[in-house]
Structure 1
Amino acid sequence: MCRGSLDLVTSLATPPPTEIAADLLDDLRTARRGAVALPALEPATYARDHAAFELLSDQRGLIAGHLAGRLAGMGDGPLSILSVGCGDGSLDARLAAGLVAAAPGRPVRYVGVEPWEGSAALFVERMSSLDAPEVSAEVHVAAFADVSLDEMFDVVVFVHSMYYVADVGTALRAALALLRPGGELWVLNAPKAALNALVDVLAPPQENHRQWFSADVGEAFADVGIILEEAVTLDALVDLLATTDEVLDFAVQARLTPELRDPVRAYLRAVAVPARDGSSRVPHPVDVFRAIRH
């Protein structure tokens, strides 16, 4: 994978942040060993806390720029996109608006798949607010494994939604089957880096499976025989050092108990790196996998 570089400033008088973080993570792992799983995030507040989290991160802008460049390179004819786990449409509406601006009159069809009805309604609302007759949009309120689609697409994209499928390989095969010849499958997933090491320790398991990270996605592509054309990393940062408890919960994908909050915040301080503005932020990378249906 292509990775950017982050310069860590450490003191020679104290252990480097990675060692401190490892000790703190071990302490959290010990505290949670044998304990009842923490409560999962509630759907009604998930979208709200997700939106607040995104305001503290530069990742969505990096994703939008990367995917917009990919879409711009797909010619100027009609384009159909299936967005799996479309959420409230914040990213998809931004991409659709860019397509309209770049090629006015170009037909763009968006189909969203979103299991939570509240976010699905916001997806339709955001896409409709573009006021662009060349853009059509609809959404299916369902999990990807349960949705029934009778059309083919130029692009199928999973942005931070592959975590929730029961089997990554099965989902990849199903997605590839929905592509026209020459169509592209994009999967954006987080690695188990500094932030997601916390998720791995604290988040309750998904239904019948553990959390999937980028390594699992890469292995699944290989296991099902889908050739990757490209795998790159977008190096984002997120400002979590003084955030609210609700956003902190979203960051670790669990409702934290009061006694866990201070250790979690201490860990985040230990893994933080200098941002361009001089503040300290937590690395928040995302891996982008791309395959083509030949």
Structure 2
Amino acid sequence: MAERRGAPALPGLDSQTYARAHLAFESRSDQRRLIAEHLAGRLAARAGQSISVLSVGCGDGTLDVPLIQGLLGADGARSVRYVGVDPYETATTELARAMGALDDPALQVETHSTTWESAPVSGTFDVITFVHSMYYVPDVAAAVAKACSLLRPGGELVVLSGPRGAMNTLVDICAPPIDGHPQWFSDDVAAGIAEAAAPAHLEVAPVERLEALLALEPVTHDVLDFVVQARLTPEARELVLACLRSAAVPDPASGRFEVPHPVDVHRVVRLP
């Protein structure tokens, strides 16, 4: 913090750099598996012959396509409406291609290449997800309120967000602002939900935590840049690496050092 105080802002990650760094980060982390297992269990628990899912910050479908495929099942007994929203058109194009490859007449897919604030989404949904995307909205309470307005009775909003642990504190220090605001983390999400979910027909569930770990070694620039959401200078990179090493814990099985980066699961349910 002392090193960065008063220093020029570090550059952010452009879309191409972000995609490459994200891939490198995910290859070292077990968070995607934990998130996929959690969401698959939550979706599978919903009964009925049809289900509608809205994914905000859907990306290229790496997470969502297997989830939707699992919902469809092998017998074609359930119909699925899926809507994906992401500001990057290259991501939604790939998502639509991957969903189309499922080639299932019981699946209806709709994508919007825009921000959540501008997304022209209509209808109501059984499940709305924000998987690591609430960081970037201008106003958390407004984003939650819009999502809750699209829940059908019994529907749920699921927001997955990282808390301010050792890793995300580095984002606060190093990442440039997004459209004039910092990235929002789990405590900000909780505050936004508390503000937006005040109506009596909405119920806020207890927060659950997924204990994800990041394998730190061997160190690469892409992984470090993604951790802090900025292009690090060589000097800053050494400081970030020292901070991560100080927070790392040894894996009893392999002896490798891993950095905890938990994911909090926030839920709002619209009462029947």
TM-score class, shorter-chain normalisation, is over 0.9
The CA RMSD measured in Å over matched residues stands at: 1.4
Q: Is the 8 A contact 2:140 2:192 kept in 1?
A: yes
Aligned-pair CA distance for 1:52: 2.1
Measured in 2, the distance between the counterparts of 1:150 and 1:76 equals 21
Measured in 1, the distance between the counterparts of 2:71 and 2:94 equals 20
Q: Is the 8 A contact 1:184 1:291 kept in 2?
A: yes
Amino acid of the residue matched to residue 187 of structure 1? V
Against the structure 1 CA distance between its residues 55 and 131, is the aligned structure 2 distance closer, same or farther, given a 3 Å change threshold? Answer: farther
Say whether residues 1:211 and 2:183 are aligned partners: yes
Per-residue CA distance 1:231-271 (angstroms, 9 max, x = gap): 10000101123232122101110000111111211111111
Q: 2:167 aligns to what? A: 195
TM normalised by structure 2 equals 0.93
Aligned-pair CA distance for 1:277: 2.8
Matches for 1:161-180 after TM superposition, within 5 Å: 161-180=133-152
Per-residue CA distance 1:155-175 (angstroms, 9 max, x = gap): 111000001110100011000
Amino acid of the residue matched to residue 292 of structure 1? V
Q: Is the 8 A contact 1:113 1:142 kept in 2?
A: yes
Say whether residues 1:137 and 2:109 are aligned partners: yes
Against the structure 1 CA distance between its residues 154 and 98, is the aligned structure 2 distance closer, same or farther, given a 3 Å change threshold? Answer: same
Measured in 2, the distance between the counterparts of 1:198 and 1:139 equals 33
Aligned-pair CA distance for 1:101: 3.0
Aligned-pair CA distance for 1:213: 0.7
TM normalised by structure 1 equals 0.87
Q: 2:128 aligns to what? A: 156
- Structure 2's unaligned 5+ residue stretches are none
Amino acid of the residue matched to residue 32 of structure 1? R
Q: 2:214 aligns to what? A: 238
Against the structure 1 CA distance between its residues 283 and 146, is the aligned structure 2 distance closer, same or farther, given a 3 Å change threshold? Answer: same
Measured in 2, the distance between the counterparts of 1:53 and 1:106 equals 35
Q: Which of 40, 62, 75 in structure 2 is aligned with 1:90?
A: 62
Q: 2:9 aligns to what? A: 37
Measured in 1, the distance between the counterparts of 2:151 and 2:181 equals 27
- Structure 1's unaligned 5+ residue stretches are 1-28
Q: 2:250 aligns to what? A: 274
Say whether residues 1:261 and 2:237 are aligned partners: yes
Per-residue CA distance 1:119-142 (angstroms, 9 max, x = gap): 111111222222333222221000
Q: Is the 8 A contact 1:156 1:179 kept in 2?
A: yes
Say whether residues 1:290 and 2:267 are aligned partners: yes
Q: Is the 8 A contact 1:83 1:113 kept in 2?
A: yes
Aligned-pair CA distance for 1:276: 4.6
Give the number of aligned pairs.
266
Poorly superposed stretches of 4+, deviation over 4 Å: none
Residue 242 of structure 1 aligns to a residue whose secondary structure is: coil
Higher helix share: 1
Say whether residues 1:229 and 2:205 are aligned partners: yes
Aligned-pair CA distance for 1:103: 5.8
Amino acid of the residue matched to residue 92 of structure 2? A
Q: 1:77 aligns to what? A: 49
Identity %: 51
Measured in 1, the distance between the counterparts of 2:62 and 2:205 equals 27
Measured in 2, the distance between the counterparts of 1:144 and 1:267 equals 34
Against the structure 1 CA distance between its residues 122 and 263, is the aligned structure 2 distance closer, same or farther, given a 3 Å change threshold? Answer: same
Q: 1:8 aligns to what? A: none
Against the structure 1 CA distance between its residues 281 and 227, is the aligned structure 2 distance closer, same or farther, given a 3 Å change threshold? Answer: same
